[in-house]
Structure 1
Amino acid sequence: MTARPESGASAGGLIIFLNGTSSSGKSSIARALLGVLGETYFHMSVDAFHAMRSGPALPPDELAAMLERTWRGFHRAVAGMAAAGNDLVVDHLFSEPWRLHDCLSLFDPSNVVLVGVHCSLPELERRERARGDRPAGLAARQFDRVHAHGVYDLECDTERAGAQDCARRIKEFLPRRRFPTAFEQMTARPASQPAGAPEPARNDIQAGA
């Protein structure tokens, strides 16, 4: 891959997209990034969008439809903020293929830095029990899905580095990021699989929690 000249960059804002299972450390990295980047960034978290919701409990079919509307709205809010020129740190997860495909259709792929946030399943389960605010087994259900697309610009192992180390590593990567980006590669490859089908296995590197 080759570095793209600065003149080829989009006028839109940069999206640092943290993708990992529940309890993998995305939010901790996002908070650390805001402290080390030295520029104005917005942290956009899908959990914050869910927290905006009010109203009565919904039956399962209505809840599922409402959650999908929330995720789709979140993607479009991210796209709109970036299109207006805002730089973003996004905390989300591709636990279903349609979410990735929706983001691929909405974001400027040259302006997305896709960061994989990894952690072993035993450690995820330990963190899940310790925090006590997630359904039991949530991370296990997401584990094989979240990284199935297999392409990243940078990856983190949150058992081997803390949030500050990860944030610094991401910051150091930004001025030397390579093209085509992970989003550009995925946008360009043939649509050989329908939405919802399993996708190729992930690769690994390391970084923080």
Structure 2
Amino acid sequence: MGDTAGRIIFLNGTSSSGKSSIARELLDILDDEVWFHVGVDMFNAMRTERAMAPAEFDEALKRTRRGFHRSIAAMADVGNNLVVDHVLSEPWRLADCLEVLRPYRVLFVGIRCDVAELTRREAVRGDRPLGVAAYQADLVHRHGDYDLECDSGKYSPRECAEQIKAFLPNQAAPTAFERLREAIRP
């Protein structure tokens, strides 16, 4: 890790929970330094669209996620501040992030939204299969520990971003990532 590692705000929530909208608002209001929004969907969009057998596709997704996690570390290592947008719907994803991002101070933010609103947003978007967000709703938050949680069904993306900005300088130690590492340590 470099001498001047960047800060990481890590947004975790279901598909259609508003993570990308909140990230864009954060980039607008975090004007003290340069920040980058890096999202797992951005990495998915870089992958070839050729047809793959289910097992091959699953393996490609896993490599994509692992590469995404390591890119976060690489960007932070050279001093870039990051707003990360992710869906931690499988336990290995969180475990990998906890290990790969061990050297960095991470503000772990849970983006919550009730299932009825998630379903409405999916239908309006039309670019995701209906039911994915509802399926992910319990999975992404099952680890049960965040530094901060925002309700994107109750608050606008801008209001959620303002909550995160206000919390950022007041993050207590140990962080949620540190507590989670300790909780899952063998």
The alpha carbon displacement at 1:108 in A equals 3.2
The alpha carbon displacement at 1:171 in A equals 0.8
Q: Is 1:33 matched with 2:43?
A: no
Unaligned runs of 5+ in 2: none
The alpha carbon displacement at 1:170 in A equals 0.8
Q: How many residues in Structure 1 have an aligned counterpart in Structure 2?
A: 183
Instruction: Report the secondary structure of 2:154's partner residue.
Output: coil
Give the TM-score, by structure 1 length.
0.84
The alpha carbon displacement at 1:189 in A equals 2.1
Matching residue of 2:140: 146
Deviation per residue, 1:88-111 (Å, 9 max, x gap): 000001100000000000103651
Matching residue of 1:42: 36
Deviation per residue, 1:141-196 (Å, 9 max, x gap): 1111100000001100011110111111111111111111000111122446xxxx
Q: Is 1:22 matched with 2:15?
A: yes
8 Å CA contact 1:13–1:87 kept in 2: the answer is yes
Q: Alpha carbons of 1:161 and 1:25: their partners in 2 closer, same or farther (altered >3 Å)?
A: same
Alignment of 1:125-144 (within 5 A): 125-144=119-138
**Cα distance in 1 for residues equivalent to 2:128 and 2:23:** 19
Instruction: Report the secondary structure of 1:115's partner residue.
Output: strand
User: Pick from 108, 114, 132: which aligns with 1:114?
Assistant: 108
Q: Is 1:73 matched with 2:67?
A: yes
RMSD across aligned C-alpha pairs, in angstroms?
A: 1.3
**Cα distance in 2 for residues equivalent to 1:140 and 1:174:** 29
Matching residue of 1:183: 177
8 Å CA contact 1:14–1:87 kept in 2: the answer is yes
Give the TM-score, by structure 2 length.
0.94
Unaligned runs of 5+ in 1: 1-9, 193-209
8 Å CA contact 1:14–1:86 kept in 2: the answer is yes
Deviation per residue, 1:35-67 (Å, 9 max, x gap): 000020011011011111125211111111101
Instruction: Quote the sequence identity (%).
Output: 56
